[in-house]
Structure 1
Amino acid sequence: MRTIQLKKILNEHCIQFIEKKQMDLSLSIEDANSSLHSASNSTAGDKHDTSRAMMHLEIEKKSKQLNEVVQLKKLIPILIDNSQQKSFGVGTVVETNAGSFYMSFNAGKKEIEGQSFTFISLASPLAQAFKNNLNKKEFQFMQKTYTILKTF
């Protein structure tokens, strides 16, 4: 598969991952707000106050996660622009003896034409290890030996 076509597929996975996560979190917040409203209309008491407080905490937690996803969404144009770059950075694919990695953000794994790709953040320790060892081709990380076969 051509590099440009592969990177388009990898980028599409990133977009779909973020959109799904954003939708799931939005629905979760909506459900929690609905539950909170229902609990507010019920009888008063310590038990119900605790329940409402827990729902508020859950809404705050989900809202924070949603804000993080919105920030990740801002990476998409950068990812697409950098997908044809020559130096190591966002949009780089690193093929190793332990699998292939796409420098983007933590978005799990995706199988593409029989090849598994792990989506990792450029700030992750493993991505930094790849960056620092590009010239060595083989290095140890977390008690595992990685051999860099190809980067593009």
Structure 2
Amino acid sequence: MAGANQLIKSQLHAACLAYVQERIDACQAAIQAAQESANSETKSSAGDKYETGRAMAQNERDRNTVQLRQAQQLQGELARINPELPCDTVRPGALVQTGLGHFYISISAGKLTVSGLDYFAVSPAAPVAAALAGKRAGEQAQFNGKPVKISAIQ
């Protein structure tokens, strides 16, 4: 079973990397589109329209640049996690089974389905991950005022 969990962990890690790469690609495409939009604005007889169009394109480019930096930061966080390493406590890189579900402590990528089972990729700063942090299999944590038992950690 440990080998199967290791494979699942590697697949979850790969899914998180793909999620981040999609975000990076989308941001880069949006930045490029905004740049092309700004470059294609033609000076009209009403100069305000031209300036407004360029300003809107600049705002769009700036917004997407911030999102790109955030996605690159997530990529860096994933790079610091080795999914091959086993975990005996809840920490980044841990695959945690609880009564609430299965969690991969990595980045906030939402629900991921691997081998027909749903897993939740959550950041170590997420409330559920923070409640479970440092715990071992068999221990309990409090989350939203309710006890949560940790069945297994990989």
- What range describes the TM-score normalised by the shorter chain of this pair? 0.7 to 0.9
Q: Write the deviation string for residues 74-129 of structure 1: whole angstroms up to 9, x where unpaired.
A: 22332126742333211111212221111001112111122101111112222101
More deviation in 116-125 or 49-58? 49-58
Q: CA separation of 1:147/1:88 partners in 2, compared to 1, >3 Å: closer, same or farther? A: closer
What is the match of residue 106 of structure 1? Answer: 108
Equivalents in 2 of 1:83, 1:61: separation in Å? 37
What is the match of residue 68 of structure 2? Answer: 66
Q: Residue 93 of structure 2: SS of its match in structure 1? A: coil
Note if contact 1:21-1:69 (Cα within 8 Å) is conserved in structure 2: yes
- TM-score (norm. length: structure 1): 0.85
Note if contact 1:97-1:147 (Cα within 8 Å) is conserved in structure 2: yes
Equivalents in 1 of 2:85, 2:107: separation in Å? 14
What is the match of residue 97 of structure 1? Answer: 99
RMSD: 2.2
Q: CA separation of 1:81/1:100 partners in 2, compared to 1, >3 Å: closer, same or farther? A: closer
- TM-score (norm. length: structure 2): 0.84
Q: Residue 79 of structure 1: SS of its match in structure 2? A: coil
Note if contact 2:89-2:153 (Cα within 8 Å) is conserved in structure 1: no
What is the match of residue 139 of structure 1? Answer: 142
Q: Write the deviation string for residues 47-97 of structure 1: whole angstroms up to 9, x where unpaired.
A: 332222122111111001111111221223321267423332111112122
Equivalents in 2 of 1:123, 1:146: separation in Å? 17
The one of the two structures with greater contact order (alpha-carbon pairs below 8 A, sep at least 6) is 2
Q: CA separation of 1:79/1:132 partners in 2, compared to 1, >3 Å: closer, same or farther? A: closer
Q: Write the deviation string for residues 6-63 of structure 1: whole angstroms up to 9, x where unpaired.
A: 1110111011111111111111110111011112x23152233222212211111100
What is the match of residue 43 of structure 2? Answer: 42
Note if contact 1:7-1:83 (Cα within 8 Å) is conserved in structure 2: no
Q: Residue 91 of structure 1: SS of its match in structure 2? A: coil
Note if contact 1:104-1:120 (Cα within 8 Å) is conserved in structure 2: yes
Note if contact 1:29-1:62 (Cα within 8 Å) is conserved in structure 2: yes
Q: Residue 102 of structure 1: SS of its match in structure 2? A: strand
Q: Residue 133 of structure 2: SS of its match in structure 1? A: helix
Q: Residue 123 of structure 1: SS of its match in structure 2? A: coil
Q: Please, which runs of 5 or more residues in structure 2 have no aligned partner?
A: none
